[in-house]
Amino acid sequence: MRALRWHGKHDIRCDNHVPDPTIEDGRDAIIKVSSCAICGSDLHLYDGFMPGMQHGDIVGHEFMGEVMEVGKDNKKLKVGDRVVVPFTIVCGECDQCRRGNFSVCERTNRNKDIADKVFGHTTAGLYGYTHLTGGYAGGQAEYVRVPYADVGPVVIPDGLTDDQVLFLGDILPTGWQAAAQCDIQPTDTVAIWGAGPVGQFAIRSAVLMGAEQVICIDNVPERLSMARAGGAITINFDEESVIHRLQELTRGKGPEKCIDAVGMESHAARSIDSMYDRAKQALFMETDRPHVLREMIYVCRPAGILSIPGVYGGLLDKIPFGAAMNKGLTFRMGQTHVNRWTDDLLNRIQDGQIDPTFVITHKVSLEEGPDMYKVFREKHDGCIKVVLKP
């Protein structure tokens, strides 16, 4: 089969003659991928920021398709079902799954020992996202083996297109969870850093959840225009001071809720702390660039909530924790517990309350995937979300 494989930093290739996946366990299923997408967190792999990738790993964790084969113990799926596969692999039986904390499933990470050592405890297995999370083959391919396929995959009813439901596997519930973690009240201002796909869905979620005012911070005009379309007031950090503008919009009080939809590769390149982070990164003294996190802590209203869907990978420096503690801020973060939200969000899509296709700007073949990684990374050609058709 054909698949996008990681061969090193900035080196993802569409390889032919990759071995087809096979059923390895009775609960497995094999999916023929009809649509997959490049996620912002795939760029962390592309840029070489995430440790634990190996030459030849198949990437991609946003995918859907048709069930081609099911294991003997899998009673949920049948051949021919159309499914969206959440990026977290969940067993549905461990203590964390039973509490709804699917992204920290205790059983699905095949390399639990490594994760235990690095993070203290294991997290769920993920598709195409380093050997720290199990080293599972990803979904930017023609076929994928889906382990624990009797739990995670969401069966899609007839009448919905791939484009409408593909993002149920990651970015739509990620934006939704980011807003849900904010306990949004009708008087709240929610400030969202990053107008990428997750930021866009966080904006729509915050509006649906009733925030009085939603503000989005970015510097890419196309992304800001999409943010405004969804109901956000926008701040272009190239053109105005984020802190002053947020103070102005909140009568000096600061936003009650802040969402970091940027994560470890903050690009506020001209701020002093960003230059400091880049210098430390170059000297291998820091792994992540947490400019957004610092800004959120500074500007958030005391007793506010910081919600962090943006991915961080390692060690962060100069976090103003004194300010966070004394202001009484609440931090909520984590990989998305996708299966918590999928049924509800699928209903909302069916009801027409939200149409996730608005975020798609590029739809290309799998062969064009490696080039689209570059376009997406550089934000060229108005690129916000790339869908690949294997």
Partner 1 sequence: MHTPRLEYQDYRVNHDARKLARSLGWFSIGLGLAELLMPGKLARAVGMEDNEGLIRLYGLREIGTGVGLLMTDNPEPWVYGRVVGDSLDLATLGVGMQRGDNPVGAAIAATAVAGVTVLDLACARGLGEEHHPVTLYDYSDRSGFPEPPERMRGRAAYGSIDRLPQVHGADAADRETETRH
Closest CB to partner 1 among 363 and 377?
363
Taking the complex as a whole, the smallest distance from the CB of residue 39 to partner 1 amounts, in Å, to 18
Residue with tokens 């796909």: 197
Three-state DSSP class for residue 29: strand
Closest CB to partner 1 among 231 and 320?
231
Closest CB to partner 1 among 32 and 363?
363
CB atoms within 10 A of CB 99: 10
Alpha-carbon distance 191 to 202, whole Å? 10
Taking the complex as a whole, the smallest distance from the CB of residue 309 to partner 1 amounts, in Å, to 14
Judge contact between 16 and 368, C-beta under 8 A: no
Alpha-carbon distance 188 to 211, whole Å? 5
Please report, to the nearest 10 degrees, the dihedral formed by the alpha carbons of residues 236, 240, 241, 245 taken in order: -80
Taking the complex as a whole, the smallest distance from the CB of residue 258 to partner 1 amounts, in Å, to 16
Closest CB to partner 1 among 159 and 252?
159
Taking the complex as a whole, the smallest distance from the CB of residue 232 to partner 1 amounts, in Å, to 8
Q: Rule CB under 8 A: which residues touch partner 1?
A: 74-76, 92-93, 97-102, 150-151, 161, 163-164, 180-181, 183-186, 200, 204-205, 207-211, 219, 221-223, 225-226, 228-231, 238-239, 269-270, 337, 339-341, 343-344, 348, 352-361, 363, 381-382, 384, 387
Residue with tokens 């991915």: 311
Alpha-carbon distance 259 to 292, whole Å? 9
Closest CB to partner 1 among 48 and 100?
100
Taking the complex as a whole, the smallest distance from the CB of residue 292 to partner 1 amounts, in Å, to 18
Closest CB to partner 1 among 79 and 229?
229
Taking the complex as a whole, the smallest distance from the CB of residue 157 to partner 1 amounts, in Å, to 15
Judge contact between 75 and 150, C-beta under 8 A: yes
Contacts of 250 by beta carbon, 8 Å cutoff, 6+ apart: 189, 213, 301
